[in-house]
Chain A
Amino acid sequence: MAAERRLPPVSQLCITSMVLVVIGGIYLAAYLPGAPSLVLPTILAILAAVVMAANVAALSRVKVFAWPVFFKVIRWALLAYVITSGMIELVFVLDGTPAGVLGLLTAMLAIYAVDIPLLLAFTVARYQPA
């Protein structure tokens, strides 16, 4: 059974990264339209990016995996999540979000837009024959 292959904890790391981004996003949103401190959300975004990078690195070392299925799913998922992230970004731009906050939100959206497609593609491909 394909699910019995030993694989890195991609799903868990994706969820960890996403939880960090969501906490940072909630913190920022709770203070808008005021001027929130960027220290905590910046630390959370950096941690999320590090976890995501480690996740991608760990997955890229896997040799026996249903890579064609993985790339098929991630391609379309990336398209969908880039569109929705772009819409959210547009909302923040139109609202005149301050530059520092906007930059941080953009970084968080970028992590989200990669993280979820990665999770979707991995979850599908892990059950497919390599």
Chain B
Amino acid sequence: MQSASALPASSVAPPRERTAHAGVEIVPLRGLPIVAAILIALLVAIVGNWGWALMFFHVAGGGLWTGVDLFVGLVLGPILGRLPVEARIEFSKRFMPKMMLIMPTLVTVTLASGWQVARRYGFLAWPYPMHWWVTASFIVVGVMAVIALAILEPANLAVLFELNKPEPDGKLIGQLMRRFIYTSGITGVMQLATLIIMTRLGTP
């Protein structure tokens, strides 16, 4: 592990702050009941095949997922990229634990309800070539899922564990955050494709 003395001056925290790094909550436990309630409500909507609730979950979840991705990838990301490592660490300590709960919940809710909406309202039965829009949405979601699950989420988790060390490695956190920011940008741009596809599907 890199010693604190090898870090850039801006990334070396005074002892009191360094101690504070050790207390990062990786998954905010207070948020778990909210996540559980949302997932149970989603299950009820799916089991009951409740059209309005399914549409609500898909539109609300999808809108929030798209909004968060675009905001993080295209607004927050470039700002974070220009901040000193110490500032990124302070931001990450407060931001990333929340993202550990928010993003998987939004993705699960949006996709599960979206599939049901597509089935219930006949989008899956559309003939080709119109069905290509549906297939395109699967491809975009598939690519975003690979990026989010294989790159974003592991980087997020690794940063949180690094922050829990008595002396976090600023260089490693910088590398992982850069990965987080770049991939957020890519998923943000892919969300634009989702917006085009979804509005096309929603236009009779």
Contacts and interface: CB of A to CB of B under 8 A. Distances in A.
Interface of A: 1-3, 11, 14-15, 18-19, 22-23, 25-26, 29-30, 32-33, 69, 73, 76, 80, 83-84, 87-88, 90-91, 94-95, 116, 119-120, 122-124, 127-129
Contact of B161 (A25, A69, A91, A94): A69
A44 B146 CA distance: 16
A84 B108 contact: yes
Interface residues of B, number: 37
B197 interface: no
A91 B124 contact: no
A11 B142 CA distance: 18
A88 B113 CA distance: 10
B142 A91 contact: no
B193 interface: no
Contacts of A122: 154
A22 B146 contact: yes
Nearest to B1: A1
Interface stretch (B17-25, B39-47, B78-86): B39-47
30 contacts: A1-B2, A1-B169, A14-B150, A18-B149, A19-B146, A22-B145, A22-B146, A23-B142, A25-B138, A26-B142, A73-B161, A84-B108, A87-B39, A87-B46, A87-B108, A88-B111, A90-B46, A90-B47, A91-B46, A94-B46, A95-B116, A119-B149, A119-B150, A120-B157, A122-B154, A124-B154, A124-B161, A127-B161, A127-B162, A129-B1
A109 to B, nearest CB: 13
Given A11-B154, A87-B108, A128 B145 contact: no
Given A3-B172, A14-B150, A129-B1, 13 more contacts: A11-B150, A11-B154, A15-B150, A18-B149, A22-B146, A29-B135, A30-B135, A87-B39, A87-B42, A87-B43, A90-B43, A91-B112, A94-B47
Nearest to B46: A91
Interface of B: 1-2, 27, 39, 42-43, 46-47, 49, 104, 108, 111-112, 115-116, 119, 124-125, 131, 134-135, 138-139, 142, 145-146, 149-150, 153-155, 157-158, 161-162, 169, 172
A69 B158 CA distance: 11
Q: B interface, by DSSP: helix, strand, loop or mixed?
A: helix
B145 A123 contact: no
A22 B104 CA distance: 17
A11 B115 CA distance: 29
Nearest to B125: A33
A122 B112 CA distance: 28
Contact of B157 (A22, A32, A73, A129): A73
Nearest to A12: B150
B61 to A, nearest CB: 13
